[in-house]
């Protein structure tokens, strides 16, 4: 298995499967297919995407009773932070302030939530 790099990107289909692996893994391909909403992808399609995730170093498998069970090798928290950083860079020019300002402008975050965030920042700086 190849070690993933910090510049490795996932396709939307790979991200969908990673979410399922984090939630349900270790898991068989047939069960992954069952978890998809209709129209469900073909077994071979899911299998191909899982092999790509293995090649990229985000997933691996074990052989249990002649059946492969896939699991995530990348931690969800690290993946989430990296994804958030890329999103902020791509859509807000790297400005976390700009992202939070957009949330405020769209009324997606309350004054109470902002106060809680400020408290977190102040506690972190102590």
pLDDT 10s digits, 102-115: 999 999 999 999 99
- In this structure, are 63 and 80 located in the same domain? no
Domain hosting 110: range is 76-124
- In this structure, are 68 and 40 located in the same domain? yes
Q: How many domains does the chain have?
A: 2
- In this structure, are 82 and 119 located in the same domain? yes
Residue 88 lies in a domain: yes
- In this structure, are 88 and 63 located in the same domain? no
- In this structure, are 18 and 60 located in the same domain? yes
> For the packed helices 96-105 and 111-124, what is the interaxial angle rounded to 10 degrees?
160
User: So what's the pLDDT on residue 20?
Assistant: 96
Percentage with pLDDT > 90 across the chain: 70
Which residues face 63 on adjacent strands?
Answer: 68
55 versus 78: the higher-pLDDT residue is: 55
- In this structure, are 16 and 65 located in the same domain? yes
Mean pLDDT, the chain, rounded, equals 90
User: So what's the pLDDT on residue 78?
Assistant: 84
SS3 9: coil
Q: Considering only 22-31, 32-41, 76-85, 91-100, which range has the smallest mean pLDDT?
A: 76-85
Judge whether residue 12 has pLDDT over 80. yes
User: So what's the pLDDT on residue 94?
Assistant: 93
Token duo for residue 66: 């002649």
- In this structure, are 19 and 66 located in the same domain? yes
How far, rounded to the nearest angstrom, does the alpha carbon of residue 29 sit from its chain's CA centroid?
19
Tokens 């059946």, residue located: 67
CA angle, 118 as apex, 109 and 120 as ends, to 5°?
Answer: 110
Do residues 74 and 18 touch, judged by C-beta distance below 8 A? yes
- In this structure, are 19 and 57 located in the same domain? yes
User: So what's the pLDDT on residue 8?
Assistant: 67
Judge whether residue 72 has pLDDT over 90. yes
Which residues face 60 on adjacent strands?
Answer: 71
Token duo for residue 121: 């920042």
Give the Cα separation of 9 and 6 in Å (integer).
8
- Which uninterrupted H or E stretch holds 67? strand 67-72
SS3 8: coil
């Amino acid at each position: 298995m190849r070690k993933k790099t910090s510049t490795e990107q996932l396709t939307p289909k790979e991200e969908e499967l990673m979410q399922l692996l984090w939630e349900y893994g270790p898991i068989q391909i047939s069960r992954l297919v069952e978890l998809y909403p209709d129209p469900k992808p073909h077994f071979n399609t899911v299998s191909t995407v899982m092999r790509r995730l293995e090649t990229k170093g985000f997933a691996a498998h074990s052989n249990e009773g002649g059946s492969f069970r896939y699991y995530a090798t990348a931690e969800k928290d690290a993946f989430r932070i990296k994804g958030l950083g890329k999103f902020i860079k791509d859509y807000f020019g790297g400005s976390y302030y700009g992202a939070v300002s957009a949330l405020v402008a769209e009324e997606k975050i309350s004054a109470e939530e902002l106060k809680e965030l400020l408290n977190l920042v102040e506690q972190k700086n102590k």
